Structure 1
Amino acid sequence: MGRRQIFAAHFLDRGGMTKAAQAGPRPDTEYILPLRWTEDSGMEELAEYIAELCTWTPVTVVDGSPAPLFARHRTLFPPSVRHIPPKPNDGGSGGGNGKVAAVLTAVRLSRAERLVIADDDVRYTREGLAAAFAALDDAELVRPQNYFTPLPWHARWDTSRTLINRAFGGDYPGTLAVRRSALAATDGYAGVLFENLELIRTVTAAGGREKQMPALLVARRPPTARHFFRQRIRQAYDDFAQPARLFAELAVLPVLAVVLAQRRVPRALVVLALAGTAVGIAERGRRRDGGRAAFPPSTAWFAPLWLFERAVCIWMALALRAGGGVPYAGVRIKTAAHSPAALRLRHQGKIRPVQKAHNQNGTQHGS
């Protein structure tokens, strides 16, 4: 059994697959993939994945790549793929994140109600995709759990961040399932830096229900080590959307400096205690909701390294904030994501949550 089948089987064994998911793809589904590449290494593997996706559900690729690459992609993708450029006026309300413009271009062309939005490094199994679609029977938005495969050293480092997020309630993956009617009700979502958090907050602020599915494990291809290092400060900047987390991270270096300056405090003991706490938190996240099937023990041991990285990068992100925002895809974005309170003022009551209909025998059916 291959690695992808192992994780699909793990999710099935935990009862995550409904009868609707087992029945196969629904006629009202669509997979949306925003794409913007400046070079094409790895495109053949992505094209193979897209070809497989097309046998499960309709696929729309909104491709903002330069014209020569766009033309090459067209030749690599199956004829059944809807392959289109993004429309600049589909960028959402405020911000400059081109990924949001690409998603909203696809949403406004779609006639399907159940949508899966996924970054170009996400790799669903057929069973996992069906489960995400089926979960929209009684939710407006579904949040699965990503895991890296393969796992080079820098992916293990980044996985420790995922584990810490899981320990504190939930990670933010590179893929979400959402009802098109929910996005239509809010007229999309803003093109901010942390676009998936913005999408989640927009739907829930408008009255939609979010279903977190941390046991629905969806594979993700790791970035190159070079790209990984380029992401460090940008990912830290995302925490301007989460003030409690932001202040905690900003406090790490000053508190550590004050403690280490005390002559009577054994410095090695302080460092070991901090490192042990980070590993313990990450291990808790690894053990939650079947995480051990996707995250090997070594990933938790990278948590102290990630904590030190974030403690340094968050101050660099603060400097960028003071300078007008973080550079992203050729633009500068200041807003990480809007607060839930601000989004409630704008969207509250716009979404009427889907309800499950019951037949005479009490069996539930998706609306």
Structure 2
Amino acid sequence: MKATYVLPIAAPTSQVRALTGYLHRLSRVIAEVIVVDGSPREVFEAHARAWSRPVRHIRPTSRTTNGKVGGVMTGVQAARHEHIIVADDDVRFRREELERMLTLLQHFEVVRPQNIFRPQPWHARWDTARSLLNRLAGGDWPGTLGVRRSALLDAGGYSGEVLFENLEMVRTIKAAGGREAVSLDLFVVRRPPPARHFVSQRVRHAYDEWARPARFAAQLALLPGGLLLLLLGGPAALIAAAACGVAAAEFGRRKGGGRTAFSPSSAFWAPAWLAERAVTSWIALSIGLFLGGVRYRTSRLRYAATPRRLLEQTVREACDKGRLEMPRTNAA
């Protein structure tokens, strides 16, 4: 396939065992595979010895507070092909899914598929409920995107000073006139993280919703709303609300052919995820107001994503001047 697969990593320990087989399989079906590796020197050298034959293994040439963005832009700039698939190290494409992504990229500037967890330990089932609910409201956000190289470079890249980097990329391309395909029936496997890592991400994922104020407000309302239900209607009212959450997740499971990808029991985890988000939203709000941002590796990120109106304004101004560039400032 005449396309480029970009995989940005920054691993503290060797990923040779986890990734080598997958990278070899990718290199047999896609023309160019680029691993942009920001790992420490010893780990980078171990990766180079294992991967130098099937892939282009390079260092990131730009540094951003959100290190993934620097890795992605390094890979996009180095790519030899117009159609690019960017994916995290836990994503596992099969040939037919790659073909579908590249077909969609012939008609759209950015493509957003849907991830499914395989295998499914308890925390993957818990997080699957989030995916099902998101499918009702514009689609879930996966660990992979398809993008046209020219569209992203013509837009001047995307900000590396925000937390929700996939949303930032899509917003930037759309602000520059690009079209997005949200493919609800294109399912790509994702390996679940260890349970400890999953737990550590709960507040950070809630902080992402600073980028979508209406959704953030709705999630903040979950906790006081639940307490009010308990006060006025007792446990029966909470059980009824939980049943509504399960029903909503089931609608998400059925949407876009999801019944072929998500198990029938997935929707029953929705109350657990809603209870989690009812608490972590308030923690995320407090972090944003009083600590100046959420912890990301060795720094803090204040902004979840650049507002659409600011990106669109920047594009208009750039077009008036005959050029495009990323905004220098962001707002929550």
TM norm structure 2 = 0.92
Distance 1:80 1:251 in 2: 50
Per the alignment, residue 42 of structure 2 pairs with 68
Query: In the alignment, does 2:278 pair up with 1:304?
Result: no
1:64, 1:86 within 8 Å by CA — same for their partners in 2? yes
**1:338 Cα deviation from its structure 2 partner:** 1.1
Per the alignment, residue 280 of structure 1 pairs with 247
Deviations 1:70-116 (A, max 9, x none): 11111222513111111235x3xxxx100000000111122210000
1:44, 1:76 within 8 Å by CA — same for their partners in 2? no
Per the alignment, residue 155 of structure 1 pairs with 124
Deviations 1:240-293 (A, max 9, x none): 00111100111111122233233xx2x121111111011011101101111111
Counterpart amino acid of residue 254 in structure 2 = R
2:23, 2:54 within 8 Å by CA — same for their partners in 1? no
Deviations 1:175-221 (A, max 9, x none): 00000000111110011100000011110111001111111111000
Per the alignment, residue 22 of structure 1 pairs with none
Out of 215, 231, 252, which is 1:245 matched to?
215
Q: What is the SS of the residue equivalent to 1:207? A: coil
Pairing 1:128-139 to 2, within 5 Å after superposition: 128-139=97-108
Query: In the alignment, does 2:23 pair up with 1:50?
Result: yes
2:229, 2:238 within 8 Å by CA — same for their partners in 1? no
Distance 2:71 2:288 in 1: 25
Q: What is the SS of the residue equivalent to 1:34? A: strand
Distance 2:58 2:292 in 1: 32
Query: In the alignment, does 2:135 pair up with 1:166?
Result: yes
Per the alignment, residue 289 of structure 1 pairs with 256
1:193, 1:238 within 8 Å by CA — same for their partners in 2? yes
Amino-acid identity (%)? 48
Pairing 1:185-204 to 2, within 5 Å after superposition: 185-191=154-160, 192-204=162-174
Distance 1:102 1:328 in 2: 16
Query: Could you tell which deviates more after superposition, 233-242 or 103-112?
Result: 103-112
Pairing 1:31-46 to 2, within 5 Å after superposition: 31-40=5-14, 43-46=16-19
1:123, 1:218 within 8 Å by CA — same for their partners in 2? yes
Query: In the alignment, does 2:55 pair up with 1:81?
Result: yes
Q: How much is the aligned-residue C-alpha RMSD, in angstroms?
A: 1.3
Deviations 1:310-332 (A, max 9, x none): 00001111121121101112111
**1:333 Cα deviation from its structure 2 partner:** 0.3
Counterpart amino acid of residue 214 in structure 1 = L
Query: In the alignment, does 2:232 pair up with 1:259?
Result: no
Query: In the alignment, does 2:153 pair up with 1:178?
Result: no
Query: In the alignment, does 2:280 pair up with 1:313?
Result: yes
Per the alignment, residue 8 of structure 1 pairs with none
TM norm structure 1 = 0.83
Counterpart amino acid of residue 255 in structure 1 = G
Out of 81, 103, 106, which is 1:112 matched to?
81
Out of 326, 331, 354, which is 2:299 matched to?
331
Query: Could you tell which deviates more after superposition, 168-177 or 158-167?
Result: 168-177
Distance 1:188 1:51 in 2: 29
- Structure with greater contact order relative to length (CA < 8 Å, sep ≥ 6): 1
1:51, 1:78 within 8 Å by CA — same for their partners in 2? no
Query: In the alignment, does 2:237 pair up with 1:270?
Result: yes
